[in-house]
Amino acid sequence: METTLLLNTSLLLTLAIILTPTLLLPVSKTSSNSPTTITRTVKTAFLISLVPMTLFMLSGTESITSYWEWKFTTNFKIPLSFKMDQYSMMFFPIALFVTWSILQFATWYMASEPHITKFFFYLLTFLIAMLILTIANNMFLLFIGWEGVGMMSFLLIGWWQGRAEANTAALQAVLYNRIGDIGLILSMAWLASTMNTWEMQQAPLPTQTPTLPLLGLILAATGKSAQFGLHPWLPAAMEGPTPVSALLHSSTMVVAGIFLLIRTHPLLANNPTALTLCLCLGALSTLFAATCALTQNDIKKIIAFSTSSQLGLMMVTIGLNLPQLAFLHISTHAFFKAMLFLCSGTIIHSLNGEQDIRKMGGLQKMLPTTTSCLTIGNLALMGTPFLAGFYSKDLIIESLNTSYLNTWALLLTLLATSFTATYSLRMTLLVQTGFPRTPTNPPTNENNPMITNPITRLALGSILAGLLITSYITPTKTPPMTMPTTTKTAAVIATALGIALAMELSTMTHTLTYPKQNPHLNFSSSLGYFNPLMHRPNTTNLLNSGQKIASHLIDLSWYKKMGPEGLTDLQLMAIKTSTTLHTGLIKTYLGSFALSILLILSTQT
């Protein structure tokens, strides 16, 4: 009994601590809401949120609490209910830890920003929305969190409003997320009308769930988690400041779509069509993103595509009906991806705003801590044995290999794994090794503890997180235990092949000159021609058909031509010919008189 009390109290205390700066906003003197205060708030919340996580790890306590019910109609009530199960209790400390590190980094990164308090406020509001999404037990609260993170993403991507590309990118993010929201609202409507509830426990059917609401959920996940088809907003979102990219577009917001599918997986579990769709969509996304990352030259875009690829991998795991494994990948991915972004932020600031990796080089000697952590992050991303990424990624690939599934999805995922290794190694080689290609006196400085502490903390997390989480959380489904040696080492072999490929290619670029343009390079560096093919024609067709139907067809044609004006045109022809007869001259009348007399005479006699 005390366990649940302690659990609920501590989790609510976490939320209350997070909310404190927002409540202090009306009463703020400058000292009570500064960036350091907000950082300290988040750190406190992280420490408190370790309590429910530890309780869960030790005793397996879960709880659902419900406050205040909104009596929408007589038999459709929406309670404000929080679900504290393994997903939310594990996610809270991880999200708060990552956010704490990012906020600490942002106090250095955005130090010259005049509205830094507002920036931190936006980040805090985003965090609150994300935590609401995580802890929601019904679709209503989840929708509130969902829209909240979308909105804060828009505000934060367009933080530097004077920049046209930033505004375009923010608009792109909002539009693509909105298309996904259609799916979410569709499934919410289906739930409300068929199940008469928005609680997620009451939803599963004993028989197969109809495919329509699941398609809606998958569409929502495609929009929010940048799967193929609704993906262009994620690379464009790199226009925002690096802390924004680190928080939103690597660890927390983009996993909201996958999190939705994890929460609703009982609905998905008995519908093989939806599962196969997730699988193939995820495989396609991961390969596409990995292909595009191979030829990018902006360091943040490489990491963005890497995020997109890992999200595809998470979608693949959902398609394998393994939500817990997807959540494990979310957790481990948060650590090393946030760290990669923070390292790239340090590099960018140290080179005075240079983001092109072709103009970096030899940074291993200039920024030792940062580049070492960059290496650790890349190794974790590649799935190096016993770092954080290994525990989730290797398990996913093993489960892929031992399941009864679509071979094409399997092949794509393995290919994407080797590509991951390739582009990570390319980034490492171009950024850290070789001769410096920067201008001669860059302001490299990483002596500030505000930089090194967050990055090293996240590096520690990248190394240990996988081990810790898998040691303390019991899996709900039995992982595959026996398989042939090749299958067991498939992920490592694919990664090694990718590394070998990258090494070969890098020696080639030093010794041989490759042809200037080939179709594969063009495909990869222009992101698969997706943006120009989709953005212009879709909007043009939509607006054209709207104009044709509403304006041309209905207004002009049916109301005018078929009605009054058409009648006018018909009459006008007759009028014009008979006007010449109505001149009022006697001669015409007499002439017609004579003509008619002649006619009568000729017919009579």
Partner 1 sequence: MSFMHLSFYSTFALSSLGLAFHRTHLISALLCLESMMLSMYIALSIWPIENQAPSFTLMPMLMLTFSACEAGAGLAMLVASTRTHGSDHLHNLNLLQC
Q: Indicate whether 594 belongs to the interface with partner 1 (CB under 8 A).
A: yes
Where are the strands (E) in 496-564, listed by range? Answer: none
- Closest to 13 (Cα-Cα) out of 65, 63, 56, 48: 48
- Look at the alpha carbons of 236, 238, 244, 246 in this order and tell me if their dihedral is positive or negative: positive
Q: Indicate whether 576 belongs to the interface with partner 1 (CB under 8 A).
A: no
Q: Indicate whether 603 belongs to the interface with partner 1 (CB under 8 A).
A: no
Nearer Cβ to partner 1 (509/592)? 592
State the minimum distance, in angstroms, from the CB of residue 552 to partner 1: 37
State the minimum distance, in angstroms, from the CB of residue 579 to partner 1: 10
State the minimum distance, in angstroms, from the CB of residue 588 to partner 1: 10
Q: Indicate whether 583 belongs to the interface with partner 1 (CB under 8 A).
A: yes
Nearer Cβ to partner 1 (553/575)? 575
User: How many of the other CB atoms lie within 10 Å of CB of 237?
Assistant: 29
Nearer Cβ to partner 1 (478/605)? 605
In the block, residue with structure tokens 């979308």: 150
How is residue 459 written in tokens? 């590096």
State the minimum distance, in angstroms, from the CB of residue 565 to partner 1: 24
Among 584, 602, 603, 604, binds partner 1 (CB under 8 A): 584
Q: Indicate whether 600 belongs to the interface with partner 1 (CB under 8 A).
A: no
Q: Indicate whether 591 belongs to the interface with partner 1 (CB under 8 A).
A: yes
Nearer Cβ to partner 1 (32/583)? 583
**Per-residue 3-state assignment (H helix, E strand, C coil) for 293-342:** HCCCCEHHHHHHHHHHHHHHHHHHHHHCCCHHHHHHHHHHHHHHHHHHHH
In the block, residue with structure tokens 């779509």: 257
Name the 3-class secondary structure at 443. coil
Nearer Cβ to partner 1 (472/589)? 589
Among 111, 556, 593, 599, binds partner 1 (CB under 8 A): 593
Q: Is 471 exposed, middle or buried (0-12, 13-18, 19+ CB in 10 A)?
A: exposed
**Site track 265-304 with partner 1 (rule: CB under 8 A), x = hit:** ----------------------------------------
Nearer Cβ to partner 1 (529/593)? 593
Nearer Cβ to partner 1 (558/589)? 589
Nearer Cβ to partner 1 (516/587)? 587
State the minimum distance, in angstroms, from the CB of residue 586 to partner 1: 7
Q: Indicate whether 590 belongs to the interface with partner 1 (CB under 8 A).
A: yes
Residues 378-417 that bind partner 1 (CB under 8 A): none
Q: Of 188-196, 355-363, 397-405, 585-593, which segment contacts partner 1 by CB under 8 A?
A: 585-593
Q: Indicate whether 29 belongs to the interface with partner 1 (CB under 8 A).
A: no
Q: Of 193-201, 298-306, 346-354, 588-596, which segment contacts partner 1 by CB under 8 A?
A: 588-596
State the minimum distance, in angstroms, from the CB of residue 602 to partner 1: 12
Residue 35 CA to residue 119 CA, distance in Å, equals 9
Residue 422 CA to residue 54 CA, distance in Å, equals 38
> Could you give the dihedral angle defined by the CA atoms of residues 274, 279, 283 and 285, in that order, rounded to the nearest 10 degrees?
30
Count of residues that interact with partner 1, criterion CB under 8 A: 10
Q: Indicate whether 602 belongs to the interface with partner 1 (CB under 8 A).
A: no
Instruction: Calculate the CA 263 to chain-centre distance.
Output: 17
The count of residues in the chain is 605
Nearer Cβ to partner 1 (202/583)? 583
Q: Indicate whether 587 belongs to the interface with partner 1 (CB under 8 A).
A: yes
> Do residues 318 and 374 lie in contact, with contact meaning Cβ atoms separated by under 8 Å?
no
Q: Of 180-188, 282-290, 353-361, 577-585, which segment contacts partner 1 by CB under 8 A?
A: 577-585
Nearer Cβ to partner 1 (407/579)? 579
Residues in CB range of 350: below 8 A, 6 or more apart: 363, 366, 367, 370, 442, 443, 444, 445, 446
Among 193, 485, 586, 602, binds partner 1 (CB under 8 A): 586
Q: Indicate whether 574 belongs to the interface with partner 1 (CB under 8 A).
A: no
Among 554, 585, 599, 600, binds partner 1 (CB under 8 A): 585
State the minimum distance, in angstroms, from the CB of residue 584 to partner 1: 4
In the block, residue with structure tokens 């042809």: 515
**DSSP H or E segment with residue 288:** helix 272-293
State the minimum distance, in angstroms, from the CB of residue 536 to partner 1: 54
Query: What is the DSSP secondary-structure string of 557-595?
Result: IIIIITTHHHHHHHHHHHHHHHHGGGS--HHHHHHHHHH
Nearer Cβ to partner 1 (76/589)? 589
- Closest to 498 (Cα-Cα) out of 383, 394, 403: 383
> Do residues 144 and 184 lie in contact, with contact meaning Cβ atoms separated by under 8 Å?
no
Name the 3-class secondary structure at 28. coil
Residues in CB range of 147: below 8 A, 6 or more apart: 129, 181
Q: How many angstroms separate the most distant Cα atoms in the chain?
A: 126
State the minimum distance, in angstroms, from the CB of residue 591 to partner 1: 5
Q: Indicate whether 439 belongs to the interface with partner 1 (CB under 8 A).
A: no
In the block, residue with structure tokens 């490489």: 302
Nearer Cβ to partner 1 (164/586)? 586
User: Which residues lie near partner 1 (CB under 8 A)?
Assistant: 583-587, 590-591, 593-594, 597
